[in-house]
Amino acid sequence: MAKINITQIQKIENEMLKETIEILGKNDINFYMCCGSVLGAVRHGGPIPWDTDMDILIPFNMLEKARNCLEAELSDRFCIDDLKNNSKYTNLFPRVAMPHTSSNTLHIDLFPLMGLPDDRDEQLKICKVLGKRQKTFIRYKRMRECVSHPNAIKLFVAHMVEIFCSPFSKKELTRQYHKILAKYPYDEANYAMNACGHYGAKNIFEKSVFGTPEWKSYCDFEVPVPEKWDFYLRRYYKEYMNLPPEEERNRWLSFELEIDDRDFEKIKEVIK
42-60 per-position pLDDT tens digit:
999 999 999 999 999 999 9
In a domain, 157, yes or no: no
Q: With a threshold of 0.75, does the pTM exceed it? A: yes
Q: Does residue 135 sit within a domain?
A: no
Q: How confident is the model at residue 162 (pLDDT cuts 50, 70, 90)?
A: low
Least confident residue range of 81-95, 164-178, 190-204, 207-221 = 164-178
Tell me, what CATH number does 16's domain have?
3.30.460
Q: Which domain holds residue 77?
A: 2-114+190-267
Does residue 134 belong to any structural domain of this protein?
no
What are the tens digits of pLDDT across the range 244-255? 998 888 877 888
Top-confidence residue, 89 or 140: 89
In order of 81, 153, 159, 171, 197, the CA distances from 143 in angstroms are 19, 12, 8, 17, 22
Distance of alpha carbon 93 from alpha carbon 156, whole angstroms: 28
Whether residue 168 lies inside any domain: the answer is: no
Phi, psi (5° rounding) for residue 151? -150, 175
Q: Provide the domain count of the chain.
A: 1
Other Cβ atoms less than 10 A from the Cβ of 30: the count is 17
User: Is 123 contained in some domain?
Assistant: no
Is there a domain that residue 256 lies in? yes
* Chain segment 196-246, per-residue pLDDT in tens: 988 889 999 999 999 999 999 999 999 999 999 999 999 999 999 999 998
The rounded distance, in Å, linking the Cα atoms of 137 and 206 is: 28
Q: Which of 12-21, 83-92, 93-102 comes out lowest in average pLDDT? A: 83-92
